[in-house]
Amino acid sequence: MIRLKDVEMEYDNGTRAIKGISLTIEDGEFVFLVGPSGSGKSTIIKLLTGEVEPCRGRIMINGFSVSNISEKQIPLMRRTLGIIFQDFRLIEKKTVYDNLAFVMRAVGASPKEIKNRIPYVLQLVGLEKKAGSYPTELSGGEQQRVAIARALVNNPNTIIADEPTGNLDPERSLELMSLLVKINQLGTTVVVVTHEKDLVDRFGKRVVTIDSGHVVNDSVGGYVGGSIHG
Amino acid sequence: MAKHDIGYFAHEGLSNMFSHGFMSFAAVGITVACLLIMGTFTLVAVNANELLRDLEQENEILAYVDDSYTETEAKALQTTLEAVPNVASAVYISKEQAMEDFVAQYPDEDMFQDLDPEILRDRYAIKITDLEQIRQTKETVEGIPGIARVNAYEEIAGGFITVRNVATVICVALIVILFVVSVFIISNTIKLTTFDRRDEIAIMRMVGATNGFIRWPFVYEGFMMGLLGAVIAFFSQWGLYAAVTRGVDNNDTLQLIHVIPFQELWVPVAAVFAAAGILIGVGGSLSAIRKFLQV
Ligand SMILES: Nc1ncnc2c1ncn2[C@@H]1O[C@H](COP(=O)(O)OP(=O)(O)O)[C@@H](O)[C@H]1O
Ligand SMILES: [Mg+2]
């Protein structure tokens, strides 16, 4: 479960990115986080991953209190999250297989666990034939699916994606979003930041709208009002 | 740490090392230089010390007894001499005994055969504990009533002591400087690797790798550079030492100096080199990754 209570966050240069947000996301939910560019969506993601700290309020993530977490607990908290970025962030000199093996090893998986887990995850994202390919040999949509596989491979409780379709054409975006919905149906909580209105409308999921560091709408269905270009 | 992790860290560390061939080469090279200079000066100091000890054992102060003293009076000086600080032993030698020893050195020369012992003096052969204080000890012995004259080869002793002290000072200074330089260069080599691997490091952090896990490959990299430096330095030191030993043995004037064979020294040399190399390598890597691991 993710819970933000009266959270405020200010960057070192004085930009007040989050101005008092309260938000609860239950286990197994699928949530779109939408809003114009610069409204604070990425900052919320960074707060969830512990990359930045709130200056006020409390944040709970999968049993960890992020607002006063100890140095030692941060890695453990991050293991409950799978994170996906707009720019994929794959390691270009590693094959698809090695990109996944690398993050499993990083959290202490044994060679046997790695060998068992990777084929399953690659098959889930439809890339079982691409295990030996390098990221540069794949299309954007395929690369993003590798990133999803990597986010899933350590079996996190929650997937967090920041504009995962930002670099993809509409067909690939739809495929990718459907894949995230499928993953959600397998039991993983999914939080997706996006500004693609058509996609959001199509899925009829919970939509949280952010504007200028505030939650301005939280409802099931489509986009509500305002500019959606971001 | 699981067993499969150790192999992984070692592999990553090694491939890091090879990905910066030139910098790694420079880092290992400077470590070798550091250890070699440290080793050479230390070995010179060890040999000088050994020579000093020989000298301390062979070099006696001769204290001549006043001619007016009877044999009984002369023998009575023994306790006074032995009470002098830094005197290890004082052995009484009568003039008759001294004459016999002297003549024995020239068995073939007739001219010494019927010398009168009266031309020699009774004397004490004094051995001292600390050669560095030979001058004070000589002066104290000279001040004892009944001692007419004292012979000591303080200049020779002084020369050796100076060599040893200078070697020690230069040695310590050079070791400190080179140690710092080595750590600095290894640290920078590893910083390059961390820069190359910043994407991987970012992903490892993102998926929840511990700082320890992220750190290990870099520590291994430093460890292996230090150890490689130590191994190369050890064999270079061995070759250098053997060459110098051969040179000393073949030189007519230097032949008198007994050089300690490397066989008697290689164990401590290897141990110190390995320890210092590893210290330099691991120190360098820890200093390189100290910063970037703070969240
Ligand atoms: N690292 C940063 N330092 C300073 N200000 C930042 C930083 N990142 C984002 N901001 C500012 O914080 C606000 C929210 O940004 P962000 O969360 O990235 O918005 P979004 O993802 O919704 O486009 C913006 O005004 C942005 O300029
Ligand atoms: Mg953003």
Residue B283 sits in the same domain as residue B225: yes
B163 and B191 both lie in a single domain: yes
The model's pLDDT over B216-273, given as tens digits with 9 standing for 90+, comes to: 888 888 898 899 999 999 999 999 999 998 888 887 777 667 788 898 899 999 999 9
In a domain, A129, yes or no: yes
Residues B38 and B177 in one domain: yes
Q: ipTM of the assembly? A: 0.88
Same domain? B280 vs B173 = yes
Residues B121 and B202 in one domain: no
Does position A165 have pLDDT exceeding 50, yes or no? Answer: yes
Kindly list the residues from chain A whose CB atom is less than 8 angstroms away from the CB atom of residue B2: 108, 110
For A94, the closest chain B residue by CA position comes to B200
Instruction: With respect to residue A190, please indicate whether it lies within any of the assigned structural domains.
Output: no
Q: Are residues B212 and B70 in the same domain?
A: no
Q: Which of A9, A43, A47, A48 to mutate to test the pocket of ligand 1 (most atoms within 8 A of CB)?
A: A43
Query: Quick one: B37 and B168 in the same domain?
Result: yes
How many domains are contained in chain B?
2
Structural domain of residue B260, as residue ranges?
3-54+158-293
Q: Report the alpha-carbon distance of residue B168 to residue B170 in Å, rounded.
A: 6
Question: End of a domain among B152, B186, B205?
Answer: B152
**Quick count: other Cβ atoms within 10 Å of Cβ B147?**
21
Interface probe for B, chosen from A46, A66, A71 (most Cβ of B below 10 Å), is A71
- In A155-227, DSSP assigns E strands to 158-162, 189-193, 206-211, 214-220
pLDDT in tens, B52-62: 777 766 767 88
| Whole-angstrom distance, CA of residue B209 vs CA of residue A59 | 21
Contacts of A154 in chain B (CB under 8 A): 207-208
| Same-domain pairing of B46 and B185 | yes
Which residue range(s) make up the domain with A117?
A: 92-147
Query: What number does the ligand 1 atom closest to the CA of A230 have?
Result: 23
Whether B68 and B147 map to the same domain: the answer is: yes
| pLDDT higher than threshold 80 for residue B104 | no
In a domain, A97, yes or no: yes
Q: With a 6 A CB cut-off, is A39 part of the ligand 1 pocket?
A: yes
Facing residue for A106 by CB, picked from B2, B209, B295? B209
Mean pLDDT of B140-161: 80
Which of B152, B174, B204 is the last residue before a domain boundary? B152
- pLDDT score at A25: 97
Using the mean position of ligand 1's atoms as its centre, give its distance from the Cα of residue B106 in Å: 102
The DSSP H or E segment spanning B62 is strand B61-65
- CATH number for B78: 3.30.70.3040
Residues in chain B within 8 Å Cβ distance of A108: 2, 5, 213
- B201 shares its domain with B243: yes
Closest ligand 1 atom to Cα of A39: 22
Centre of ligand 2 to C-alpha A40, Å, is 7
Distance from Cα B214 to the centre of ligand 1, integer Å: 28
Q: Are residues B140 and B162 in the same domain?
A: no
Q: Domain count of chain A? A: 1
- Answer yes or no: is A114 within a domain: yes
Half-sphere exposure of A167 (CA within 13 A, CB side): 15
Domain end marker among B122, B152, B182: B152
- The verdict on B143 and B174 lying in the same domain is no
